[in-house]
């Protein structure tokens, strides 16, 4: 009779397949981790391959500069006001001190009128005080003269009365009365002098206070009148008016910029430089450029260290005469020298630098059919060349195009130009 046959265990049924998969996995891992590591295949015509050379290396940055006026003065309002008159047109040539824009401010004008009235009142009060002081001085002199006159008369009278009294020609009481009158006049003189001295001191202090107040009022009035004068915006120098921003009837706040005056026929260069060079640009460095078939030089005159959108600004002045015929806003390509020329190993600059930061590159093998990753140390760079400090020798060839697609690979193998297959 038939009997059921037990199925083979699972490890017999699936074991061969598992063993084959394991062998394939180990083989693939060995291929990836063996010589060459992670591999990227790419058609050779998609790459830029450059050779390391040795020669003079120029350390400079290529910068696009713009011609700007050497001096720019802004027309800034010192007072609030409304535009009353615009006396010139935008773009006009102006002379220093020439009136350009007139503002009006009724509030400021009223304030000046009030200060003028206060000053006039104080002047009147000061004059009255001086007049009273003079009248008091005159009255004092008059009173003192009268007292001294009476004393002189009494002195003569006393001398006569003394002789008559001794001769019993007049009663003694008459002599005593004249003596009392004389003593009274002397005391009156002393009191008058003391009173005048005290009154003079008080008047002098009062006069000094009034003079100090008047001086302050005069200073305040001068400032107020200057504020009125500030309502007229004048050209700060000879030049050309530009960026005019004033229409009759417009209200302008204090500190508003209504235009600018640019120096004429006096220019500078201004440029935005990549923040990569912030620590390497210093005052006095030279810039070279060619214009109209002639070479020119400029030097860094000012550095603005604030970084905006990855750039910082510098101003440069021309060495010698500026190029003829240039105008504000004109763009000029310049070479900003960062260091002198020196003999060094060099590699042509390329997109690879942004991908590696200059820390490693793909170097072609002697056979030329692949490139391997190698750590290097690169130094200064200009738009054309990168200085090689270590890791590469003259004659070696390097991939200098972008590494974006294979930054994590260890080896790049080249394919024929007609084969677009790639692997990893």
| 257 has a pLDDT exceeding 80 | yes
Residue 420: inside a domain = no
Mean local confidence (pLDDT), 252-277: 91
| 19 has a pLDDT exceeding 90 | no
| Burial (CB count <10 Å: 0-12, 13-18, 19+), residue 91 | exposed
- pLDDT 10s digits, 363-390: 999 999 999 999 999 998 888 899 999 9
| Burial (CB count <10 Å: 0-12, 13-18, 19+), residue 11 | exposed
Question: Could you tell me if 183 and 293 lie in one domain?
Answer: no
Which comes out higher in pLDDT, residue 7 or 416? 416
Lowest mean pLDDT among 30-44, 256-270, 325-339, 356-370: 30-44
What integer pLDDT is reported at residue 34 of this predicted model? 43
What is the spatial distance between Cα 172 and Cα 331, in angstroms, rounded to a whole number? Answer: 119
The count of residues in the chain is 424
49 CB neighbour count, 10 Å cutoff: 16
Contact of 391 with 375, CB cutoff 8 Å: yes
Beta bridge partners of 103: 83
CATH value at residue 246: 2.40.50.100
Lowest mean pLDDT among 126-140, 227-241, 245-259: 126-140
Domain end call among 288, 322, 341: 341
Which comes out higher in pLDDT, residue 419 or 163? 163
Helices vs strands, H then E, count in the chain: 4, 22
Question: Could you tell me if 99 and 235 lie in one domain?
Answer: yes
Mean local confidence (pLDDT), 352-372: 94
What integer pLDDT is reported at residue 421 of this predicted model? 41
What integer pLDDT is reported at residue 122 of this predicted model? 77
Domain end call among 175, 206, 229: 229
Q: Residue written as tokens 């009235």?
A: 117
Which comes out higher in pLDDT, residue 240 or 208? 240
Confidence of residue 345 (pLDDT cuts 50, 70, 90): very high
Residue 14: inside a domain = no
Reported as half-sphere exposure (CB side, CA atoms, 13 A), residue 276 has a value of 12
Question: Could you tell me if 208 and 120 lie in one domain?
Answer: yes
DSSP state of 19: H
Confidence of residue 7 (pLDDT cuts 50, 70, 90): low
Q: What is the pTM of this model?
A: 0.55
- pLDDT 10s digits, 161-206: 777 777 777 787 777 787 788 888 788 888 878 877 887 787 778 7
What is the spatial distance between Cα 112 and Cα 119, in angstroms, rounded to a whole number? Answer: 10
Confidence of residue 79 (pLDDT cuts 50, 70, 90): confident
Residue 142: inside a domain = yes
Query: C-alpha 420: how far from its chain's center?
Result: 57
Question: Could you tell me if 95 and 240 lie in one domain?
Answer: yes
Host domain of residue 292: 62-69+262-341
The pairing of strands 331-348 and 286-291 is antiparallel
Please list, in sequence order, all residues whose beta carbon lies within 8 angstroms of the beta carbon of residue 232, skipping any fewer than 6 positions away. Answer: 99, 101, 102, 103
Residue 166: inside a domain = yes
**pLDDT, mean over the chain:** 84
Contact of 47 with 368, CB cutoff 8 Å: no
What integer pLDDT is reported at residue 168 of this predicted model? 79
Q: What percent of the chain has pLDDT over 90?
A: 45
Question: Could you tell me if 134 and 78 lie in one domain?
Answer: no
Which comes out higher in pLDDT, residue 410 or 157? 410
What is the spatial distance between Cα 372 and Cα 374, in angstroms, rounded to a whole number? Answer: 6
Q: b/e map of 326-365 (b: 16 or more CB within 10 Å)? A: bebeeebebbbbbeeeeebbbbbbbebbebbebebbbbbe
Residue 3: inside a domain = no
What integer pLDDT is reported at residue 419 of this predicted model? 46
Residue 38: inside a domain = yes
What integer pLDDT is reported at residue 389 of this predicted model? 95
Mean local confidence (pLDDT), 251-270: 91
Which comes out higher in pLDDT, residue 81 or 417? 81
Residue 7: inside a domain = no
Which comes out higher in pLDDT, residue 131 or 363? 363
Which comes out higher in pLDDT, residue 397 or 162? 397
Question: Could you tell me if 132 and 266 lie in one domain?
Answer: no
- pLDDT 10s digits, 215-235: 877 777 777 777 778 888 999
The domain tally of the chain equals 4
| 269 has a pLDDT exceeding 90 | yes
Mean local confidence (pLDDT), 281-298: 92
What integer pLDDT is reported at residue 33 of this predicted model? 43
Residue 352: inside a domain = yes
Q: What percent of the chain has pLDDT over 70?
A: 90
| 401 has a pLDDT exceeding 90 | yes
What integer pLDDT is reported at residue 5 of this predicted model? 56
Contact of 388 with 376, CB cutoff 8 Å: yes
């Amino acid at each position: 009779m038939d009997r059921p046959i037990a199925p083979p265990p699972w490890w017999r049924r699936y074991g061969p397949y598992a063993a084959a998969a394991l062998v394939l996995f180990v083989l693939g891992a060995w291929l990836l981790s063996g010589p060459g590591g992670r591999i990227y295949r790419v058609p050779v015509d998609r790459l830029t391959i450059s050779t390391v050379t040795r020669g003079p290396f120029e350390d400079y940055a290529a910068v696009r500069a713009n011609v700007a006026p050497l001096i720019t003065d802004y027309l800034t309002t010192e007072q609030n006001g409304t535009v009353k008159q615009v006396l010139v047109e935008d773009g006009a040539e102006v002379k220093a001190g020439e009136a350009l824009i007139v503002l009006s401010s009724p509030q400021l004008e009223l304030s000046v009128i009030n200060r003028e009235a206060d000053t006039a009142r104080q002047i009147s009060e000061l004059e009255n005080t001086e007049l009273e002081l003079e009248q008091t001085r005159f009255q004092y002199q008059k009173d003192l003269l009268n007292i001294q006159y009476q004393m002189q008369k009494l002195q003569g009278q006393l001398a006569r009365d003394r002789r008559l009294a001794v001769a019993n020609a007049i009663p003694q009481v008459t002599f005593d009365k004249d003596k009392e009158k004389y003593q009274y006049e002397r005391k009156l003189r002393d009191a008058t002098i003391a009173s005048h001295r005290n009154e003079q001191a008080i008047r002098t202090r009062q006069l000094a206070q009034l003079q100090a107040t008047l001086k302050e009022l005069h200073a305040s009035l001068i400032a107020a009148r200057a504020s009125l004068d500030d309502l007229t915006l004048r050209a700060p120098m000879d030049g050309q008016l530009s960026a005019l921003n004033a229409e009759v009837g417009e209200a302008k706040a204090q500190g508003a910029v209504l235009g600018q005056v640019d120096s004429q026929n006096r220019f500078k260069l201004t440029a935005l430089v990549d923040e990569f060079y912030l620590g390497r640009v210093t005052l006095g460095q030279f810039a070279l450029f060619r214009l109209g078939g002639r070479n020119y030089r400029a030097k860094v005159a000012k550095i603005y260290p604030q970084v905006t959108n990855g750039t910082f600004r510098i101003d440069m002045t021309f060495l010698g005469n500026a190029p003829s015929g240039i105008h504000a806003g004109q763009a000029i390509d310049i070479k900003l020298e960062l260091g002198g020329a020196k003999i060094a190993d060099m590699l042509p600059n390329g997109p690879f630098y942004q991908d590696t930061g200059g820390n490693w590159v793909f170097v072609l093998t002697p056979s030329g059919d692949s490139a391997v990753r190698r750590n290097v140390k690169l130094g200064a760079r200009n738009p054309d060349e990168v200085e090689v400090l270590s890791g590469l020798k003259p004659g070696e060839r390097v991939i200098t195009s972008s590494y974006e697609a294979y930054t994590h690979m260890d080896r790049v193998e080249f394919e024929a130009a007609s084969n677009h297959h790639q692997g990893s």
